[in-house]
Structure 1
Amino acid sequence: MADYRTGIDFGGTKIEITALGMDGAELLRRRIANPGNYPAAIEAMCDLIRGVDQELGGTGTVGIGIPGSISPDTGVIKNANATWLNNQPLIVDMTTALGRAVRIENDANCFALSEAIDGAGAGHHSVFGVIIGTGMGAGIVVDQKLLIGHNHIAGEWGHVPLPWPRIEEFPMPKCFCGNEGCMERFLSGSALAQDWKGPGHRSAANIEQEAEAGDLTAIGALDRYMDRMARACAMAINFMDPDIIVLGGGVSNLDSIYDRVPRLMRRYVITPNCTTPIVRNKHGDSSGVRGAAWLWDDHHTA
């Protein structure tokens, strides 16, 4: 039996590790720069895990959250924005290098799991956890178990077309996935920044403050964003009807989402009285690494 749960958040620029006690309390946390190549990343993660074991004097389970997922038919990484991870047998290589079993899951799934277990979605039967930053991803948790899906792509909300499109939203923007009109191209933080300030901009920081000060371009960008977010949430409610939607990532810091979107989405949800709460996450940037640690204890569905 393990002494604690170890989780790793494998990001594009950093690798973060945490250890949670069996009661969910955080025992320690460490962060290093991501070395940016596959062999060095394997070594770095193993060193972090062994360092935690040495410091805590025990052995923990190991879960890793990555910006991609494991292909169920080949066992290699797919859809990772850290492209050098793609087509690599990460779970096999980590298990071999570390000498113990490892579980690996998409980082948005880890976020959703963390918030469902002891975060903003705790106590709810079904939780739709969404990360909206430079990209856009989501995870679905039912009874504190991740819904993975047959193709291991459940929750890829960002790569569904924006619903109920407006004439002025055509032609639909091209997405890196090869399709057109994906919600990520309308709802990510960088998409909001470009709608506000024009092509090339990636940050929408202070857009609410600028709108309150009377900046008409900021007001217009926020109005369009809130309506698009309402359409996106309404679509999720229409096909999934979760008990709660939990938002994470940089865009989740927009205060106006939690007031405006629930009101706007009632137009699109096919029920006379939609009361689905949309809430800000509890654990913030810690949710990904905490969710990776929670991949054991029967929270993960193979």
Structure 2
Amino acid sequence: MAYNVFQPPKPVTTVAGVVAPSPTKPWLLYAYPWMPFPRRVIIYLREKGIPESQVKIARVQDPKFGNNVMDTSLPPRPSGSLPILAVPYEGQDADEKGYIYIRQANAIMYFLEEFCNDFQYGFTRPNGSFLGKTPLERARIAEVMCLAEELMVAWNPVRTFGTGAGPISIPEASKEMLRWVRRALGTVEHFLKDRDMMLLEGGKTLQVNMADIVLYNFLEFVHDCYGVDMTLGSGEMVEDVYGRQVKEEFPKLVEFYQAFKTRGSAKRDVEKGEVAPEYAKNMMSKWADGVL
């Protein structure tokens, strides 16, 4: 697929053809605020110190209730899965509303990362790179981020076959996939073994990276919505997916999760729709017998 190269028609006010955020025309993040992938980007925005005057959350109703943008003064939601970042754009690729669109949570975060680490791009409070400053730092962050993404993907069959949120109940399949989730958690545990989690507590910012956000996003989503704290192993010797005997415990993940929960970015705002509605929680927390 060929992509047009961004050309800045107005170098003073634009960056590579993309209009810098401003109070008059902010970038828009179309999102279901309580769902996992949109929430990941919302946490990222808070950690980067990007206010809604620059990237405004365009809250969309749950599909069950209409799937419409709740603020009727904003353009209707674009097509595609949420989240979607709508970026003011001066070029032939813009739609009739003057936007181009970035889809998929990680792509949105990477796109924003390119812009908000330099004051000249219009962002008021960039908090440094979340991808690492050296090749080795970037590789280490990518290692954990890939594993954290694997956790979220592997969770889908767990909930599909094992909870009321899924279309078909196959408890045995759900339980087996849960073992694969725990395998990935064990690998993440290894990567975190030398990290001082106290540096993540409260408002400290210099130690946060993109992998932290993706990992916390998974742990919080499963805990808050499905009622399962994946950081808590049995503490016993169990057989892993390869038939090996391993001790099921994740002490560094416990430290990580508890530390990140204290951050302002992790607080769910009920009024902004960041808490799952009761109908959804009831389905997600209804587990088939024998899975957990």
TM-score normalized with structure 1 length: 0.31
Q: Which has the higher strand share?
A: 1
TM-score normalized with structure 2 length: 0.32
